[in-house]
Amino acid sequence: MDKTDFLIIGAGVIGLAIAAELADRFHNQSVILLEQHHKFGQETSSRNSEVIHAGIYYPKASLKAILCVEGKHLLYDFCSKWKVPHEPSGKLIVANTPEEVSTLEELLIRGKENGVKDLQFLDSSQISRYEPNIKAEAAIYSPSTGIIDSHKLMERLEWLAVSKKTIIACGHKVTSIEFMGNQYAVSYQGPQGTYDSINSSWVINSSGLSSDYIASLPGIDIDTAGYRLFPCKGEYFSIPVSRAKLVSRLIYPPPYKDLRGLGIHFTKKLDGSAKLGPNAFYVDAPDYTVTAEHASQFYNSLKEYLPFLNAKDLCPDMAGVRPKLQPPNSPIRDFIVSHEKERGLNGFINLIGIESPGLTSCLSLAKMVADLIEENGS
C-alpha cells in the first residue's frame, strides 16, 4: 500500500488548482490527485460559460461573494503571468421593464457591498454607445467581468502541479474511504478494473458532481449534514458568427428569481463566436444532450434585448450540469468548504456545491484549502 501526504479527489479546475497550490506551498510533501475520468475537467469545469465573474450576484459575506471577488483578481494575474488566453470583455446586465430595473438597482447595491467597485448604472442612451445593436432601457455595466479559456487554464494548472512532483492519476475511481485514527485508507478502482488502495494524512474532496457521494464514504450522513446534491442542467445554443459580431460584450438578463441560474445570456468566446445559455432545470442524473426544441425558449428569452436575432439562428451546442445544494424552489445555498474535524474526521476536507462562480474562485478556493491545512499543523 502506497502513502501520500495529500490526496485530492477530482481533477476539475478546483482540484487542479488545489494540487498546484499544495505542491507549491508544501513542497517537501507529496501530493496525489485521483480522477475517475480519462482526463481532467470532463464535467462541470469544461461545460460552462467560461466567464470570469465580478462578484455581483451573491449574498453579502457569503463564500461565493468573498471567494469570487478575491478569485477574480487572482485569476487575472495568473492568466497574465502564465499566458492563459482570457479577455476582460466587460458585461451588461440589462433591463426592459420597471420590475427588471428594480432588480438591477438591488444588484448594484449588492455588488458594491461585495466589494465590486467598478460597477456603473447606464440608461438607454449610454447603453447605445456601448452596444448599439441591443435593446435595453437600463443596464449595469461590469467592466471587470471577462472570459477565459477554461481548458488552457486547466492545462496550465496541471503543468504547474506536475512540475512540482504532483502525481495525477486519471481513470481512478474512489470506492471507499476509511479513517484509521491518524490517516485515511482510500480504495479505488484503476483503469484496468483492478482495485488498490493508498494511505493519506489529508484527503481533499473536490469531486464536483460526485462530492456528496465521496463525502458519505468516511461515514458522513449527507442528508443530516446538508451535503446532498441536486443536479441542475443547463443547455447552450450557438449562433452564426455574423450575429455574434454585432455585440462586443457579454449580455445578461436579470437573474432568475430563485437564483437557480443567472438567466439565459449572450456570451462572447475568445475566437469571436458566441453562445447563448444556459437555461436551468433540475434532472435526476447528469446527461449532456441538448434538446433542439428548447431553441424556442431561448429565442423568446433573448429577442427582447437582442432584436437582431432570428429563431433560425440558434443551433444546439452543448450542455452542462451544476452540483447544486438546494433542491427546486428552495433558498440559495453557499459553497461548502469544511474541514470535518468536528465530525471526528481530522484531515478530511469537503468542497461541496461548488457551482458558479467556482471557475472564477478556483485559485481563492485553493488558497482557502491550503490555509485550512496550514492552520491545522501540516
State pTM to two decimals: 0.97
Q: Does residue 241 sit in the same domain as residue 308?
A: yes
Average pLDDT, the chain: 96
Can you give the pLDDT at residue 132?
98
The pLDDT of 116-124, averaged and rounded, is: 97
Q: Does residue 255 sit in the same domain as residue 131?
A: yes
Can you give the pLDDT at residue 378?
64
Indicate if the pLDDT at residue 39 is higher than 90: yes
Tell me whether residue 282 is in a domain.
yes
Can you give the pLDDT at residue 351?
99
Tell me whether residue 60 is in a domain.
no
pLDDT tens readout for residues 244-262: 999 999 999 988 665 556 7
Which grid coordinates are listed for 364?
A: 481563492
pLDDT tens readout for residues 10-25: 999 999 999 999 999 9
CATH of the domain at 108: 3.30.9.10
Residue 359 to residues 22, 49, 141, 288, 336: CA-CA distances in angstroms?
A: 18, 10, 21, 19, 15
Q: Does residue 95 sit in the same domain as residue 134?
A: yes
Tell me whether residue 61 is in a domain.
no
Q: Does residue 203 sit in the same domain as residue 248?
A: no
Q: Does residue 239 sit in the same domain as residue 369?
A: no
Q: Does residue 242 sit in the same domain as residue 365?
A: no
Q: Report DSSP state, residue 293.
A: G
Q: Does residue 247 sit in the same domain as residue 282?
A: yes
Say how many domains are in the chain: 2
The region of weakest confidence among 106-115, 209-218, 259-268, 349-358 is 259-268
Tell me whether residue 70 is in a domain.
no
Which is more confident, 263 or 260? 263
Query: How many angstroms separate the CA atoms of 11 and 67, rounded?
Result: 20
Q: What is the DSSP secondary-structure string of 18-38?
A: HHHHHHHHTTTS-EEEEESSS
Reported confidence tier of residue 376, pLDDT bands at 50, 70, 90: confident
Tell me whether residue 57 is in a domain.
no
Q: Does residue 172 sit in the same domain as residue 219?
A: yes
Q: Does residue 17 sit in the same domain as residue 138?
A: no
Can you give the pLDDT at residue 263?
83
Looking only at the bridges linking them, the beta strands covering 146-148 and 51-52 are antiparallel
The pLDDT of 339-364, averaged and rounded, is: 98
Q: Does residue 234 sit in the same domain as residue 317?
A: yes
Q: Does residue 243 sit in the same domain as residue 275?
A: yes
Query: Is-contact 120 93, C-beta < 8 A?
Result: no
Indicate if the pLDDT at residue 76 is higher than 70: yes
Tell me whether residue 185 is in a domain.
yes
Indicate if the pLDDT at residue 221 is higher than 70: yes
Q: Does residue 163 sit in the same domain as residue 309?
A: no
Tell me whether residue 239 is in a domain.
yes
Q: Of 286, 308, 324, which residue sits at a domain end?
A: 324
Residue 281: give the domain boundaries.
Answer: 91-143+230-324
CATH of the domain at 34: 3.50.50.60
The pLDDT of 107-136, averaged and rounded, is: 97
Indicate if the pLDDT at residue 230 is higher than 70: yes
Indicate if the pLDDT at residue 116 is higher than 80: yes
Tell me whether residue 52 is in a domain.
no
Looking up cell 429577442 gives 303
Q: What is the DSSP secondary-structure string of 123-143?
A: EHHHHHHH-TTS--SEEEEET
Query: How many angstroms separate the CA atoms of 346 and 28, rounded?
Result: 21
The pLDDT of 217-231, averaged and rounded, is: 98
